[in-house]
Structure 1
Amino acid sequence: MLAIGRAYPTISRSVSCSGLRLFSSGSNNGRQIQLGGIYPPLTTPFNVDETIAFDKLASNLTQYAQIPFAGYVVQGSNGEYPYLENEEKLQIVKFVKDFIKESNKPLIAGSGCESTKATVKLTEAMAACGADAVMVVTPAYFKISMNDAAMISHYTTVADSSSVPVILYSVPANTGIDLSIDAIQILAKHPNIIGLKDSGGDVTRIGSIVQKTRGQDFKVLSGSASFLLPSYLAGSVGGVCALANVLGDVLCHMHSLYENNVIDKELQRRLIDPNNMVTRRFGVAGMKAALDLFGYYGGPNRSPMLSVSAEARQVIKKAFIDNEFVPQLR
C-alpha cells in the first residue's frame, strides 16, 4: 500500500516513452496479468485552463491506495480519452505507473484508435511508458464497415504486435458498435488477448461469452456497477466500473462477498441509481461532480464537455444519500 504524503513523481512537459523499450512482434516478454477484482477507470483531473492537474491526480491516487483495488485503468471513457492528445495520454500512463509502482498493482491503459496502425503505435508507446496491459475500444467511425472480419483483423494485428496483453473493450453506448460474440469467440483464442470489458449491460450476452470461451485463458469484466452482481453470476471475474471512483470500497466489498459465496442483492440494488447518475444520466461530468462530493478531486471537464449545473449536483447527491451512501470528506 502506498504511503500517505509520499512525494509526487515528477514529469516533464514533453514525454516520449517509445524509446525506452521496444519489443519484437508478438512478444509479451513474459509480462502477464491475471484479471479479476475491481478496477477504477480513473478520471483525468484538469485545472481551470484545461491542463492536466497532476497534483490532483496524485491526491486521488493516494486515497485510492487505501482501497483493495485489483489495479487501475487509465484512458478509458471516464478519462476523457478522446479529448486528450497522445502526448498527454502517455504522460498520464507514465505518471500513474510511477505513482503506483510500490503497490505492484497492474496498470491497464486504453490505446484504441480509429485505425489499426495508430492503435499499434500507441499501444507500443503505452507499454514503453509502463502499461501492463492495454484495453482497446472498438473502432467505430465507419460503422457500416466494422463487421466481424474487420474487427478480427484489427484486434489480431494489434495483439500480434503488442508487447503487453490486450483486453477487448465493447461500449456500444459510446461507439454504437457491440463487438459480436462470434468475433469475441475467435479472438479469445489469441494467446495475447486475455479478456473483455463489456459495458453493454446484457447479462445473458456476458454469460454466453463466458460459456463460449471456456477452456481459453480469457476473462470477462463487467463494465458497470449497475449489473456487477448479475455479471458475476453469469461468469465475469470483476469489473471496470465508473462508480469505483467514488464507491471503490463498496464495490471491492461486493467482490469479496461474492468470492465468499455471499450474494448481497440489496447492495446491488442500492448501487443502481447512483451509478445511473455518473453514467447514463450525467456521464463523465456527473462522475466528476460525485468525486467532488466524496472528497476526491473531480474538477472541470475538457471542452466541449461542460460541468454539471448546481441543480444537477443536488440530484446526484440525493441519489447517493437516498441509497445510504453519504458524501463525506476523506
Structure 2
Amino acid sequence: MADVSGIIVAMVTPLDDEQKISYSKTDKLLNKLLSYDINGIFILGTNGEAYSFTEDEKYGFAKHVIDYVGNKTQIFVGTGLNSTSETISFSQKISQLHPDALSVVTPYFVPNTQDELINNFNDLANSVDVPIILYNMPGKTGVNIDPKTVAELSKNPNIVGVKDSSGDIENMRGYLKLRNNNNFGVLSGSDSKILELLEAGGDGAIAATANLLTQNDVNIYKYFKDGNIEKAKKNQQNIEPLRKILHTGTTPSSLKASVTLSGIDVGSAKKPVIMPDKEELKEINKMIEYYRTNKIIEG
C-alpha cells in the first residue's frame, strides 16, 4: 500500500539540448532529492511536462526512474490521458514497472460531470493492480473533483488518495470531511497551502517547490508533526520568493531555470514553452542568492 503522506517531490523532467529526456541529468537530480528525507517522487505530472511527451518517452522515463531509485523512496507516476480507455491502457503498461502508485488527472478539454468522473476513476482502479491517487487540477482541466465525488471514490480500495492543486482550502477540507477511509490521503498540490492543509488534518503535499527547496519543504511537515508550529510557519513562508518567481513564466520554465541556477542542470522546458530572458534570470539569481545567504538551500 502506498504511503500517501509527507512531502513528495513533483519532479521536473530534465532535457538535453535537443529537447530529449536526459537520463544523465535525471540521475543527478534524483541523487540530490534522495539525499533528503522525502516520502516519494512524483514524475510525469504538470511540472514534469507529461502532456508534451509521447507514451513511449513517458514509459522509458518511468522505467529509468523506477530502476534507478529502487527502494530508496516511493515513485508515483502520472498516467492520466483524455479518455478512460487510453488511461487504462497506458496505466496497465506503467503498472508493469511496479511503481508505488499512479497519479491520474481528470480528463480535460471537455469538462466531465461528476458521475462521469466517478465512472472514469472506478473503471481505471478496477483495471490495474497499482494504487490510484486522484489528481485534481481544475485550473488546467476545467473540472473540479467535488468532495462528494471523493467521498464516493474513496470507497474503492484501490483509490488511496487525492492531490488537490485547486488552491481552494475549503475544497480540501471537504475531502477530509467526506473521505470514507482515514487511510485515504489528502495531499496539497498547491505549495502555498501545505501547512494550512496539515493544520486542517491533511496528510502532506506533492510539492513542485521541493525540486529546489527540498529540505525546507520537508521541514514544514517535520516541524508540524513535532508540534513546532512557529518553525513550520517559517519554512512555509520561505517558499514565497520562489512562488513569486514561478508566476513570471509558463510552467515549468522558471522552476527549471531556478533548479539549474542552483547547480543542478535540468535543461530547458519543452517547446513551445520558452525559458526566462536575461532580466528574468537576474531576478532568479537574486532569489537563489537570498536562499543561499539565509541557508535555505546549500551552496
Shared fold (TM-score, shorter chain, > 0.5)? yes
Q: Which residue of 1 aligns with 2:10?
A: 41
Structure 2, unpaired ranges of 5+: none
Q: Which of 293-302 and 270-279 deviates more? A: 270-279
Query: Is the CA contact 2:10–2:47 (under 8 Å) kept in the aligned structure 1?
Result: yes
Q: Is the 1:137–1:169 Cα contact (8 Å) retained in structure 2? A: yes
TM-score by length of 2: 0.93
Residue 282 of structure 1 deviates from its aligned partner by 4.4
User: Mapping of 1:1-330 within 5 angstroms?
Assistant: 32-103=1-72, 105-143=73-111, 146-213=112-179, 215-263=181-229, 264-278=232-246, 281-321=249-289
Superposition TM-score, scaled by structure 1 size: 0.85
2:213 touches 2:297 (CA, 8 Å); kept in 1?
no
Task: Tell me the distance in 2 between the aligned counterparts of 1:309 and 1:293.
Answer: 13
- What letter corresponds to residue 67 of structure 1 in structure 2? Y
Residue 28 of structure 1 aligns with which residue?
Answer: none
**Which secondary structure does the structure 1 equivalent of 2:103 belong to?**
strand
Q: In the TM superposition, what is the alpha-carbon distance from 1:102 to its structure 2 partner?
A: 4.2
- Indicate the SS of the match to 1:304: coil
Give me the whole-angstrom Cα distance separating, in 2, the residues matched to 1:107 and 1:292. 23
The alignment partner of 2:98 has SS state of: coil
Give SS of 1:194's match.
Answer: strand
1:18 aligned partner: none
Superposition RMSD in Å: 1.8
Residue pair 1:222, 1:228 contacting (<8 A) in 2 also: yes
Return the letter of the residue paired with 2:157. Answer: P
Q: Is the 8 A contact 1:40 1:72 kept in 2?
A: yes
SS of 1:77 mapped into structure 2: coil
- Opposite residue 217 of structure 2, the aligned amino acid is L
Give, in whole Å, the separation in 2 of the partners of 1:102 and 1:265. Answer: 31
Match in the other structure for 1:7 = none
- Kept in 2, the 8 Å contact 1:134–1:166? The answer is yes
| CA 1:287–1:211: 2 relative to 1, 3 Å | same
Q: Please state how far the C-alpha of 1:138 moved relative to its aligned partner.
A: 0.7
Task: Tell me: CA distance 1:125–1:271, structure 2 relative to 1, closer, same or farther (3 Å).
Answer: same
Contact 1:290 1:298 in 2 (8 A): no
1:283 alignment partner, SS class? coil
Q: How many residues align?
A: 296
Q: Residues of 2 paired with 1:42 and 1:287: CA distance?
A: 10
Residue 25 of structure 1 is matched in structure 2 by none
Counterpart-to-counterpart distance in 2, 1:155 and 1:238: 22
Give the Cα separation in 2 of the matches to 1:147 and 1:106.
Answer: 32
How many Å separate the matches in 2 of 1:88 and 1:279?
Answer: 28
What residue in structure 2 maps to residue 12 of structure 1? none
